[in-house]
Homo-oligomer: A and B are copies of this chain.
Amino acid sequence: MSTGRVFAVEPWVVREPRLDLDRMGQVESVFALSNGHIGLRGNLDEGEPHAMPGTYLNSFYERRPLPYAEGGYGYPESGQTIINVTNGKLIRLLVEDEPFDLRYGRLRRHERVLDLRAGTLSRDVEWESPAGRVVRVRSTRLVSLTQRAIAAIEYEVEVLDAPALVVLQSELVANEQLPSRNEADPRVEAALTDPLVAEQHASAGAGAYLIHSTRRSGLRVAAAMDHEVHGPETAEVTSEAAEDIARTTVIARLEPGKPMRLVKYLAYGWSSRRSLPALHDQVRAALAAARYTGWDGLAAEQRAHLDEFWETADVEIEGDAELQQAVRLATFHILQAGARAERRGIGAKGLTGEGYDGHTFWDTETFCLPVLAHLAPHAAADLLRWRQSILPQAYERAEQLGLRGAAFPWRTIRGQECSGYWPAGTAAFHINADIADAVRRYVLATGDTVFEREVGLELLVATARLWRSLGHHDSAGEFRIDGVTGPDEYTAIVDNNVYTNLMAQQNLRYAADVAARHTRVAARFGVNAEEMASWRDAAKSMRIPYDEVLGVHPQSEGFTSHAVWDFENTPAHKYPLLLHVPYFDLYRKQVIKQADLVLAMQLRPDAFPPEQMRRNFAYYEGLTVRDSSLSACTQAVVAAWTGHLDLAYDYLAEAALVDLDDLAGNSDHGVHIASMAGTWTAVVVGFGGMRMDEAGIHFAPRLPPALSRISFGLNWQGRQLRVEIRPDEAEYRLVSGPPMRLGHHGEAIALDGEPQVVPIPAFDPPEPVEQPYGRAPRPRLPGNATRRTFPEIAMPQAAVVAGMDEELRQTG
């Protein structure tokens, strides 16, 4: 449970000024370091105490049974779960035979700092042992953004009072004992306990390695370490290795004022195909390169990489220091999640925790990818190449479901559907249109036509075919998509979900356009003019239900006729509702977990005239309880667009602070990557009013009254742009790249070397909107506190039903 802030507010670092054992899980997630390939949770060097030790490799998973009380055709029988691999972060310390353990003795000082520009997590501790010896330990850790297989730790220990014998044990530990998962099914527990089978181990000099493979998924992982010791000449260094543990031990007698410094280099590699010797050589080579680069070299590379990133990516928020920090942390975590994923997915928690079994959902394309397309385009392209690489599984799944084209999995690591509840899994076909939308956004943002032809087209054809076979024309000639689930998981298995239909419409239309641009390649996939016409025709006839009486779009057919949830009689502790009421009751009533029609307005603004957007937004604000962390950022965007600037600001803060303030109460499972991405989107797309289409890029910036300035940058078709929003004017600057034109509140502006300052037009403030009773966002400013709200935002209760924990996932 979150009580009070755990981090200090500073612009470029996240500082934990003192250790709070009750908040360890949250802090481990926020302090996780990752390059998208390797992820190290912010565990203490000495391993304990911990909330959840975590060392992850992207897509390294074990298979687990998926049991059903009553089975059904097409239910996946086997799931995939990310597993904790060999822990190489461990450096244990003994001071005169007393283990350095913060739970004993006296902690004089304990500070940790995540430095967003250095890309390091550092720690500074002063500790008095139970026997009264005083030591200072300083460590700095990085997961290299430049050397994908590498992590490194600089560890310095110093005795402060008197000479002492000090022993350092730097380790690799496989099959670490983990806190119980408390699984409903003991078979799952069994499958995931000691998942690694030892294959080879060895030690030599100041290093060692361990190679393991998984029992069921048949993946092989190698972890290797090497060390440099800078200390007394008398220091003794030995190494040893056994099946599940390797250890380099340094023994030295230290004098006060003469610290000993250890640099640990760590290399990881995994493969489903490479032989043991090949994998062994791979990690040893990476390790040699890292050692050759040295600690200072690695740290310098890391900073240089980040400097370049921040030059474009930095978002400046003037007038709210907390938000400034939060937006930077969010941007940092997005980079970490995607930077070197290289044709692997991004899990809902990145590599910061085991939440949702490490699965990748639609979050990747709908929330992360639009951000990466502007800040790290290569990473965005690689994510879509990953989707292309799992097309065989998606084709197979579509066939199993009796459909054409590809049916991408709702949740997966390796490409197979791992959802054990089809109404909120298989039925959420919108993920296929979300992938197509991501292709479009990436191509618009980068102008990368090679990618469009080589990667995009295949994805578009596969998904367009899915929609064409999933929908049908009714007798009135409308194209319907029945029996699917949209983004809102409090409504399922419905006809003509507006979000789904609008996204499918765009998918069909865009697939036809791209196929027409690359007819030769399209022909290779068997696409001909007839098929393209059938896509265009379906798109044109797409049914978009509309409630004439209310003047709003129903989220899906009949939605607005359902009973409205009894919000007034739903106390705060009943949220999130899915933990306290059955699905059947949620599904049949007007209550919305997360933006659905509102997300449709964000992603397809062309389909909603402004006045309609306002009416829809007002209607759905009154029904949306935000039991998902994927909602606030979207509500922020559309609130900003419809002129609810204070509300947008509150939602931005909710999205941005979800992990810093542990707003969902489950940050210990990993950070909310999609909400972090949505934070950037809330600023750039929301307050920046950024939209892209074939005609170019447009902005319609507006600053919320509480802020005095927002500045953000982005890549646009080979250019670097920076936009600054001030209360009454906006400034556009072309940092690099050829001259261009952009839209500003509907006006065309030419941009070259000179910054352009243009006024922001005034607007009529809209009628205020209301959230469901008690579900207004936390007002960011005291003056905003006019909405009815519970004193505290509701925290989820402990999972009351076995397996429900999984469902705390707010996204899918």
Give the B-binding residues of A (Cβ under 8 A): 66-77, 79, 184-187, 400-402, 419-423, 426-427, 472, 474-475, 480, 482-484, 492-493, 495, 549, 557-558, 561-563, 578-585, 587-589, 800-804, 806-807
Contact = CB atoms under 8 A, between A and B. Distances in A.
By Cβ-Cβ distance, the 3 closest A-B pairs, closest first, are A69-B420, A483-B588, A71-B803
Contacts of A803: 68-71
A719 B435 CA distance: 71
Given A472-B563, A474-B561, A482-B562, A582 B421 contact: no
Contacts of A563: 472, 480, 482
B184 A72 contact: no
A402 B581 contact: yes
B185 A580 contact: no
Nearest to A423: B423
A558 B557 contact: yes
A148 to B, nearest CB: 34
A582 B71 contact: no
B561 A480 contact: yes
A480 B561 CA distance: 9
6 contacts: A69-B75, A72-B583, A73-B801, A186-B187, A482-B561, A483-B584
How many chain copies?
2
Given A68-B803, A588-B482, A588-B483, A73 B579 contact: yes
A401 B557 CA distance: 25
B70 A67 contact: no
A423 to B, nearest CB: 7
Given A561-B480, A582-B426, A68 B71 contact: no
Contacts of A75: 69, 801
A584 B426 contact: yes
Nearest to A481: B588
A422 B584 contact: yes
Contact of A67 (B77, B184, B482, B800): B184
B480 A401 contact: no
A800 B807 CA distance: 29
A420 B70 contact: yes
Contacts of A585: 401-402, 483
Given A402-B581, A423-B423, A582-B426, A72 B804 contact: yes
Given A67-B67, A71-B807, A185-B187, 16 more contacts: A67-B68, A67-B185, A68-B68, A68-B184, A68-B803, A69-B79, A69-B421, A69-B803, A70-B419, A72-B801, A73-B578, A472-B563, A475-B549, A482-B588, A483-B562, A558-B558
A803 B421 CA distance: 15
A558 B427 contact: no
Given A67-B68, A67-B185, A482-B563, A401 B582 contact: yes
Nearest to A66: B69
A806 B420 contact: no
A77 B187 CA distance: 16
A804 B549 CA distance: 45
A495 B587 contact: no
Contacts of A421: 68-70, 72
A714 B46 CA distance: 83
Contacts of A77: 802
A187 B419 CA distance: 22
